[in-house]
Amino acid sequence: MKPVNTHLPHARPYTTVVLAMSADGKIADRQRQAARFGSEIDRLHLEQQIGAADAVLLGAGTLRAYGTSLGVQDPSLLSQRQDRGQSPQPVQILCSRSGQIDPHWRFFQQAFPRWLITCQDPLGWWWDPAICNAFERVLGGQNLPQERKSDADISWQWIGGLLGQQGIRSLAVLGGGTLVASLLAQQAIDELHLTLCPLLLGGESAPTPVEGMGWLQSTAIRLELLQVETIGHEVFLRYKVSSS
């Protein structure tokens, strides 16, 4: 686990959320099982977005549902990464505020670099060498700005600066809704790529792309539609988050 220089400010990476959702806006069913309702076209679209990014960010709840994360397998995408001077695989960054992580997730056997973002001190009460040694870098705990030490949320502008300092220029966020809400609330998301899939899940407890407390209509985050494409029965939407 390498230390991170926390004193050099840097621009945060360009951040894109990539999610598939049902026609009624759910990213999983009421039991929060792994969402596998997207088509093969959607899976390829997801791999393309991952292949273009320097790093992938996902919440612990999302990883808990799947147990794994998606790396780059397509030979053409691997070749494009090499041509751009990127590493063979993007860094997979797990965000866990509590630090409660299962070392038996297959995620820890996958062949890509792993980093961890947490509110917990990685040398504190939850320390487990089997977990922490699986991450090349840990951002959290003693590295947090002083004003965030007692904050339940993470300073994404500050974390983004650290990621930029480490050479991360582009970041793909794969969920879940709580993580996306936190990033949006701190103006740390630039684009959303949403795949609208032809099914209805319903349910008050089924998660949506953006969870948290939400916003009033008067303060809602505004989007600009950049692209829309229909392939088969799915609709691929690309939005830019408005700065106003």
Per-domain residue ranges of the chain: 14-241
pLDDT tens column, 145-197: 544 444 457 889 889 999 999 999 999 999 999 999 999 999 999 999 999 99
Calpha distance 42→174 (Å, rounded): 13
Q: Place domain 14-241 in its CATH homologous superfamily.
A: Dihydrofolate Reductase, subunit A (3.40.430.10)
Give the Cβ contact number of residue 241 at 10 Å. 19
Report the C-alpha gap between 211 and 46 in whole angstroms: 21
The pTM of this model reads 0.89
> What pLDDT, on the 0 to 100 scale, is given for residue 133?
77
Mean pLDDT by 10 residues, the chain (244 residues): 52 96 97 93 98 97 93 97 97 87 89 88 60 81 48 79 94 96 96 98 96 94 98 98 82
pLDDT for 243: 78
Instruction: Mention every residue, 6+ apart, whose C-beta is less than 8 A from residue 156.
Output: 12, 182, 183, 186, 188
The pLDDT assigned to 120 comes to: 65
Give the pLDDT confidence score for residue 149 in this predicted structure.
43
Q: What pairs with residue 18 in β-bridges?
A: 193
Quick one: pLDDT at residue 66? 93
d(CA 207, CA 25): 9
Are 13 and 161 in contact, with CB atoms under 8 Å apart?
Answer: no
